[in-house]
């Protein structure tokens, strides 16, 4: 019956060259846990595409990227449901996995600058061990600089400090100081790599001067108090797999001070239940072990038993709620916090990283010191943890000299 997940396919429902693969594709959707509504939408799309190919006398092997684009462009004129090629991702992925549809050809850099960006991104990922989100951010931030100088008569070797200075000044005229600071960091990294690759004639990172940006920091890190933390958990949507997942995510952020990316990259084998520890995959491939408190372990195990989709084959702990239940990203982790924060009516900046500050301040409130904060947050340098000294007012009070009473009078 059309629209029921796992229902047998009636012969003739999918006329055209894709009929031979219809039952297998729908069985795969059922295995991945697609809802009946999504299942029915994919079945309709399968019929449309197969009929479109049949009407042109084309076989499955003709489904190149260009042909898929032609199908999407035509169907946009007759239906409001076809907005982009993303709707075809499950079907095309299945057909390409069988080898009956052409694989996507590797993207060829359109310009020398784009080729350089690909190499720079690969360096950041493989050599520096940066997270994919960070790599994409750095590549995006330096793209305008390379595009500006891509057609230089002398090539990259003719880059000079003056060119770097002019670029930063131009960006400062149209961007906020904080944004210019972030772009400057990415540019330093690019220029350092270009020097190592012998693409430039001089070392230019120092040409990117310091950016004067007004500080918006308050007195100490912005953390949540106990009442606000309780409000976050209360604000979670009640019941169901979504509640179990989001509750486990929040407790890892609040109690262990994990970063959003560290929560997203947590794997099943990282949870050592017998030893009571969790392995955290941090920045630049660093792996640390943290104690797994009983209350944290209880929330995570409840999600694994009652909320995590089964049969996906993924080893990452946290998966998307909707089929095909792919691993969530750091952005999705942040979105969990943002939704709970907004429902709880909590004001102030920050989301997931604010809970990291909350975990650190909880250590200080419990009598711990900066050394314990550094251990929990896995800071590489003591100076990074020193900022939390401003949040420990009781400890700072003993350092303050009493104000002379005569001065008050």
Q: What is the pLDDT of residues 57-97, one digit of tens each?
A: 999 998 998 899 899 888 888 776 666 788 889 999 999 99
Mean pLDDT over all residues of the chain?
84
Is a pLDDT exceeding 50 seen at residue 219?
no
- The residue among 245 and 40 whose pLDDT is bigger is 245
Is a pLDDT exceeding 80 seen at residue 13?
no
CATH superfamily of 226-395: Intergrase catalytic core (1.10.443.10)
User: pLDDT for 366-394, tens place per residue?
Assistant: 888 777 888 888 887 776 776 666 655 55
**In the chain, helix, strand, coil percent, each to 5?**
60, 5, 35
Confidence class for position 11, pLDDT limits 50, 70, 90:
very low
DSSP string, 171-238: HHTTS-HHHHHHHHHHHHHHHHHHHHTT-SSS--GGGS----------SS-----HHHHHHHHHTSPP
User: pLDDT for 241-274, tens place per residue?
Assistant: 889 999 999 999 999 999 999 999 999 999 999 9
On whether the CB atoms of residues 177 and 214 are closer than 8 A, the answer is: yes
Confidence class for position 2, pLDDT limits 50, 70, 90:
very low
On whether the CB atoms of residues 374 and 382 are closer than 8 A, the answer is: yes
Looking at beta carbons, which pairs linking 122-126 to residues 24 or more positions away fall under 8 Å?
123/193, 124/189
Q: Does domain 112-207 have CATH number 2.40.50?
A: no
- % of the chain surpassing 90 pLDDT: 39
| Mean predicted confidence (pLDDT) in 221-235 | 86
Cα–Cα distance for residue pair 332/312, rounded to 1 Å: 19
Cβ atoms within 10 Å of 368's Cβ, excluding its own: 15
């Amino acid at each position: 019956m059309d629209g029921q997940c796992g229902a047998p396919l009636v012969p003739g429902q999918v006329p055209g060259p894709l009929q031979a693969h219809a039952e297998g594709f729908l069985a795969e959707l059922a295995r991945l846990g697609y809802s009946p509504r999504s299942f029915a939408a994919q079945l309709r799309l399968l019929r449309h595409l197969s009929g479109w190919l049949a009407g042109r006398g084309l076989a499955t092997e003709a489904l190149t990227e260009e042909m898929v684009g032609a199908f999407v462009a035509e169907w946009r004129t007759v239906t409001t449901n076809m907005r982009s090629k993303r709707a075809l991702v499950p079907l095309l992925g299945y057909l390409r996995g069988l080898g009956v549809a052409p694989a996507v050809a590797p993207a060829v850099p359109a310009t020398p600058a784009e080729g350089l960006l690909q190499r720079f991104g690969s360096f950041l990922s493989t050599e520096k061990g940066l997270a994919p989100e960070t790599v994409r951010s750095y590549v995006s931030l330096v793209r305008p600089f390379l595009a500006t100088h891509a057609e230089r008569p002398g090539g990259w070797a003719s880059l000079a400090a003056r060119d770097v200075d002019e670029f930063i000044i131009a960006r400062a005229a149209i961007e906020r100081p904080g944004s210019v600071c972030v772009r400057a960091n990415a540019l330093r990294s690019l220029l350092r790599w270009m020097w190592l690759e012998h693409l430039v004639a001089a070392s230019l990172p120092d040409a990117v001067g310091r950016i004067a940006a007004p500080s918006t920091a308050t007195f100490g890190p912005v953390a949540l108090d106990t009442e606000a933390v309780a409000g976050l958990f209360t604000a979670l949507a009640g019941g169901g797999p979504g509640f179990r997942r989001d509750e486990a995510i929040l407790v890892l952020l609040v109690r262990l001070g994990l970063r959003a990316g560290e929560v997203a990259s947590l794997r099943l084998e990282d949870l050592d239940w017998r030893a009571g520890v969790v392995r955290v995959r941090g920045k630049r491939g660093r792996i640390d072990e943290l104690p797994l408190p009983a209350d944290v372990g209880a929330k995570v195990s409840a999600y694994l038993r009652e909320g995590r989709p089964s049969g996906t084959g993924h080893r990452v702990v946290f998966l998307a709620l909707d089929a095909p239940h792919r691993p969530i990203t750091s952005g999705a982790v942040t979105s969990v916090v943002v939704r709970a924060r907004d429902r709880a009516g909590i004001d102030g900046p920050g989301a997931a990283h604010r809970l990291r500050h909350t975990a650190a301040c909880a250590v200080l409130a419990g009598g711990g010191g900066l050394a314990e904060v550094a251990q929990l947050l896995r800071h590489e340098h003591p100076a990074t943890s020193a900022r939390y000294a401003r949040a420990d007012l009781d400890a700072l009070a003993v350092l303050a000299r009493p104000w002379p009473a005569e001065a008050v009078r």
